[in-house]
Structure 1
Amino acid sequence: MFKKKPNIKPLSPLKSSERRRTADQIIADFQIPLPVETTADPEDKAASTAGLTALRRSLLPENALSARFTTTAGPDLKQVSGTVYVGSHEGTGEEQRILWAKVGEKMYPTVYTLWHNPGIIPLLYTPSFVVEKLQGGADLMTPGLQRGPPFPKRATKGAVVAIASLERPTVPMAVGSCEIDVSSLGTVQGMKGHAVSTFHWTGDELWSWNPSGKPGSEPPAALQGWDDEADDTALATQTAGIDLQDDQEGGVALTADPTERSEAEKAQGIEGEDAPSLKDAVDIVDDQELSPKEIDDAFRDAFLFGVRYHMDHNRNHPNFGLDFPLSQSKVMSLLVQPFLPTYTPARTASLQIKKTSWKNIRKFIKYLDKQQILKSKEQNGNETVVMDIDFTDRHIEAFVPYRLPKKDAPTSSGTNGKPPASLSAESSVGQKLKLVFLLRPKEKLAPIFHVTKADPRGLYTPAELKQVLIAYIEAENLVSEKNKRLIKINPQLADALLGSSAADNAALASGAIPRDALADRMVAAASPFHTILRNSEDIADSKPKAGAPPKIQILIETRSGNKTVTKVSGVEPYHIAPQPLADELRKTCAGSTSVDRLQGSSPKNPVMEVMVQGPQKDAIIKALEKRGVNKNWIEIVDKTKKKR
Structure 2
Amino acid sequence: MFAKAFRVKSNTVVKGSDRRKLRADISAAFPSLSVDDLNELIPSKEELNIVKIYAHKGDAVTLYVLHKNPIFFHLEKQLFPTVYTLWRYPTMLPIFSTWPPVLQKLSGGADLMLPGVVVSSSGLPELDQGDCCAVTLVMNRAPVAVGTAAMSSTEMRKSGMKGKGVNVLHTYMDQLWAFGDKTHPPVLPITDCSTQVQGQMEGEECEGEKTRKEDVSGLAAVETSCQNLHELKLAESDVLNEEQSEDKGEDVCGEEDDSRSSQAQIDELLLQCFLHALKSKVKKSELPLLTSTFLRNHMISCCPTGKRLDIKKSSYKKLSKFLQVMQKDHNLVCIKELSKGVESIVDVDWKNPELCSFRIPEDCGPEKEAVEDSAVIEVPYQPPEITALYGVTARLEPLFLDSQKKKGTAMKACEVRNIITEYVKKNELVNEVNKNYVQINPTLCDCLLEKSEYHEVEMLKWDDLFSRTLLKMQVCHEVRFPGQRPVVKKGQMEPIELSVASRGSNKKVTVIKNLEAFGLDPAVVANTLQHQVQASCVLQDSPGAKNRVLVQIQGNQVQHVGKLLLDRYQIPRKYVQGLEKAPKPGKKK
**TM > 0.5:** no
Report the TM-score when normalising by structure 2: 0.43
- Return the TM-score normalized by structure 1: 0.40
